[in-house]
Amino acid sequence: MPHFNYTARDRSGQPVSAGLEASSRKEALRLLAARGLTPVNVSEAGAAAGSRPPDASKKPAGTETLSKTRFRLTKSSAVTRKQRLPFLQALSDLTGSGLSAGEAVRLLSQRIQEPALRALCQGLWERLSEGRPLSRAMEEFSAVFDDSTVNLIQAGEATGSLNDVLQRLIQHFTEQRELRQKLVLAMAYPVFICCVAVGVIIFFIFGLLPNIEPLLKATGGKLPLATQLLIGISHFFINYGLFLVVPLILAVVSFWRWRQTDAGRALTDEWVLRVPFAGSFVTTTTVMNFSQTLAVLIENGITTAEALRMTERVISNRTHRRAFAEATGRVLEGESLSLALARTNCFPHLVLDRLTIGENTGNVVPSLKEIARSHQKDLSRRLQVFTGVVSTGVLLFAFGFVGFLGYAIFSAVFSVSASFRF
């Protein structure tokens, strides 16, 4: 039976070098995973130095099938960023119980029933069974795992603290998911109210008024001014509404396509920051995102330079991203982060003061976490205020328009009734 020499790390992160006998390299990797070891290098001992290499034109059995499977798993639209948090949670549960990362992924690939998540686990296990560490296997699923996640997993593997890294990642992604859910729930009611108001207006203008108008005009009496105005609005939208809707749709589509370009995205992001409420909302979101991400990266052993570059990619607003990139360059030249961010004039002074205190006391990570928590609360408060104002405004507009419709119709009815008196 072939003999394999290996270098691996145990659960505490200590390097282990030894040998074992196995029928194949894949079997050797399975045995190492069963022992709780994370393989770094596995090579067969005693291989003939002058042995003839296999013919490159002849593919080993099963290679084509594996390649097709990989393409399907990597390119499949079913495997998306939604599977990241459930996978990390399941992996953390198993590694926390004492299993190695490779054995945990193998078990998940067999036991999970959800199709997309199972496909992800199977794809990862195929790569792990070839001797790759978990971080390198994750790199091939860029649709699920971003660069910062892969680098954090790699740091956890190198230091033997993979489970701690998984816990921090789970907490970070859970907070992000809860914030997105709050945003969706906060916007659901105003959107519903807007849809109902628009539906009522369309019904009255295109459905009710065209049927009532012949009856009102048949009496020959003079209609009140409110009724004439309402009928004129109805005629205008019925006759010319299409000429307004089509250009409006074309304008919206053109603006959306222009915003997808680099120049359009940069300019519109700069415009948003000048809008009173929207600008402060975007700034709060940016501060919360970069402080959360930077704290997680630095806490898990990523170097400051690499952590700043990764954090730059999570900032969605292009103006803020450009300012953060400039600050990163100054930090790499030896300047403090708080002073570099202050030079950009894009971030609140209170945030910079708290960051300065953290740098002076050597508690940068706790300061960043506190900044993230306070801005997350501020963001929730802003969302509540925004949804309350929008909901109230839409309701008042809808009630006002319906009241105007009722007044115009009833005043016309009373006018018609008065014309029949002797």
54-74 pLDDT, tens digit per residue, is 443 344 433 334 444 444 444
Amino acid at 17: S
Q: How far apart are CA 131 and CA 25, in angstroms?
A: 8
Q: What is the pLDDT of residue 257?
A: 92
pLDDT digits over 317-343, tens only? 899 989 888 888 888 888 888 888 888
The yes-or-no verdict on residue 354 having pLDDT over 80 is yes
Structure-model confidence comparison of residues 253 and 173, the more confident one: 253
pLDDT digits (tens, 9 = 90+) for 366-417: 898 899 888 888 888 888 888 788 778 877 887 887 788 778 777 777 776 6
Residue 62, exposed/middle/buried by CB under 10 A (0-12, 13-18, 19+)? exposed
- The kind and range of the H/E element at 7 are strand 3-9
DSSP for 125-189, please give it: HHHHTTT--HHHHHHT-TTTS-HHHHHHHHHHHHHT-HHHHHHHHHHHHHHHHHHHHHHHHHHHH
- What's the average model confidence in pLDDT over 240-262? 89
| DSSP 8-state class, residue 206 | I
Query: If you search the block for the tokens 């009173």, which residue do you land on?
Result: 276
> Could you tell me if 419 and 221 are in contact, meaning their C-beta atoms sit under 8 angstroms apart?
yes
Task: Please write the tens of the pLDDT for every residue from 16-68.
Answer: 888 888 877 777 777 776 676 777 777 777 543 333 444 433 444 333 344 44
pLDDT of res. 404: 82
d(CA 416, CA 390): 39
Which pLDDT score is estimated for 252? 92
CA separation, residue 323 to residues 206, 328, 419 (Å) = 51, 9, 72
Nearest Cα residue to 121 out of 138, 109, 111, 132: 109
Q: Among 240, 243, 230, which residue's Cα sits nearest to residue 201?
A: 230
Mapping DSSP to helix (H, G, I), strand (E, B) and coil, where does residue 43 land? strand
Q: List, for residues 163-198, the tens digit of each pLDDT value.
A: 888 888 888 888 888 878 877 887 787 788 778 878
**Residue 289 near residue 314, CB atoms below 8 Å:** yes
Is residue 247 over pLDDT 50? yes
Structure tokens at 353: 């003061």
Residue 104 above 50 pLDDT?
yes
CB atoms within 10 A of CB 213: 17
State how far the Cα of 112 lies from the Cα of 118, in Å rounded to an integer. 6
Within its chain, how far is the Cα of 243 from the centroid?
38
pLDDT of residue 255: 92
pLDDT at 219: 60
Span 178-422: which CATH code?
Answer: 1.20.81.30
The structure tokens listed for 378 are 């501020």
Q: Which two tokens stand for residue 220?
A: 């020959």
Q: What percent of the chain has pLDDT over 70?
A: 86
- Domain boundaries along the sequence of the chain: 3-43, 178-422
pLDDT at 256: 92
CA Rg value for the chain: 32
What span, in angstroms and rounded, lies between the C-alpha atoms of 193 and 398?
Answer: 9
Residue 34 pLDDT: 64
